[in-house]
A and B are shown apart, each in its own frame.
Chain A
Amino acid sequence: MDVTFQFDWEAAFASIPFLLKGIPYTLLISFGGLAIGFLIGILFGLLRISPLVWLRVPAIAYIEIFRGTPVLVQVLFIFYGLPQLLGGPINALVAGIAAIAVNSGAYISEIVRGGVQSIERGQREASLSLGLSRVQSFRYIIWPQAFRRMIPPLGNQGIISIKDTSLFSVIGVGELVRQGQVYIATTFNALEVYLMVALLYLAITLSLSFALRLLERKGLVGQ
């Protein structure tokens, strides 16, 4: 066994242009899915705290189902399973975005619920006592404060979802991991290429962390 294996920097750098072709897909699946997941999260997070049981129960069911099953199984179900139901194939990119959307949507629902419930009851009472309607109270008083508190957990979820997209190499969408696998299949530089893949993920997630930190700092003004 050759223990004096040399890390081949040249091969590592040579893979980068090919790997970079996967980045647009990784970003599109991540942020497309998260954007839809955010809308789902707002809707189901609010249904989740509705006083009406027939709104609350479906929201709880959705959250538990999509939080309690692996995102890999979800994307396999969407990509391979749903076409049998629909009678036509589903684009791999669409399947990936849909999987991130429903999966992150479940987690974001809980983030929204936690954020809204964390606002002191006095805020709602004060706004209602001024004659604001329940909708106005939510829009002008509760939501802006809740959203600020939601930024750190939303950032967490964003990072998790970005990493989750790496699983979607299994449905053949040309994202970062898939590009790496294809490249390795011809060059066999698994060590170098996977390290580069890892570093590229890190570059994406660190950029997001940094952006969120700026947003958080800005959002905290006047708190």
Chain B
Amino acid sequence: MSRDDTHADAVPIVRLDRVNKHFGQLHVLKDIVIEIQPGEVVVVIGASGSGKSTLIRCINGLEEFQAGHIEVDGNELLPDGKSGRALQRIRTEVGMVFQQFNLFPHLSVLDNVTLAPMKVRGWSRADATETAYRLLERVGIADQADKYPSQLSGGQQQRVALARALAMEPRLMLFDEPTSALDPEMIGEVLDAMRELAREGMTMVIVTHEMGFAREVADRVVFIDRGEIVEQAAPDTLFDSPQHERTQSFLSRVLKH
């Protein structure tokens, strides 16, 4: 892990400090403290309902939190959605890939990818189109640029969603169970694209159930249970010798089948 050496004295790109979130009576996130370094690939694992998706959705303000604070690339998010302009700046710098792809069905693949760079970054159509084709090429679907999302397979749609997020040239990418809605034969193509992105040094926070993938690409694996970070470590350490009893029990359940 030579990359870890450079992390040591770098300024973290994401910093969550005692973040707490409630849904009514439910305490969804409890005193979450975590820092993510530039270039780091962090995989978040945990049972469904453990708060792992909520955690990464807090980073780009899709979820509000009630206490603590979050800093992303020098922009601070405040509790209860009172972040103002900082939120917009964060979203411009942070890309996200969703479980359900969430492509825009009324726009062609190309327009899905060029929309945000043109409207948010103010790029010309020519520049945005050039970038879009380069990214679509990279995820292997440049030949589908004129199609509409509904004409593509799930795996292709998710790769378009990845290209769409990358078109904004984000400094950080969030992945919220990117392969959970895919047919098994399409999971590989999406993981390959993510693997390549990790190799290029993108900072990534990934919520996934793909433990093999986590072990392979993660610099650090974070285990969340009932809204708490129970344990975090390098993947080999966490998967082979989990320290905490809750981690052991979770891993024994997901790794057995």
Contacts and interface: CB of A to CB of B under 8 A. Distances in A.
Interface of A: 120, 122-123, 125-133, 136, 140-141, 144-145, 148, 222-223
B123 interface: no
Nearest to A141: B104
Contacts of A123: 102, 104
Contacts of A128: 61-62, 91
Most chain-B Cβ atoms within 10 A of its Cβ — which of A127, A144, A222?
Answer: A222
Contacts of B100: 120, 122
Contacts of A223: 105-106, 148, 150
A47 B18 CA distance: 37
Given A223-B106, A223-B148, A130 B116 contact: yes
A203 B165 CA distance: 50
A132 B119 contact: yes
Contacts of A127: 104, 116
Interface of B: 60-62, 88, 91-92, 94-96, 98, 100, 102-108, 115-116, 119-121, 148, 150, 161, 164-165, 168
A131 B60 CA distance: 10
Contacts of B168: 130-131
Contacts of A133: 88
B108 A222 contact: yes
Contact of A129 (B95, B104, B107): B95
A77 B96 CA distance: 55
Contact of B102 (A126, A136, A144, A148): A126
Given A129-B62, A131-B88, A133-B88, A222 B105 contact: yes
A76 to B, nearest CB: 43
A128 B95 CA distance: 10
Contacts of B106: 144-145, 148, 222-223
B227 to A, nearest CB: 21
15 contacts: A120-B100, A122-B100, A126-B104, A127-B104, A129-B95, A131-B91, A131-B168, A132-B116, A132-B119, A132-B120, A140-B115, A144-B106, A145-B104, A148-B106, A223-B105
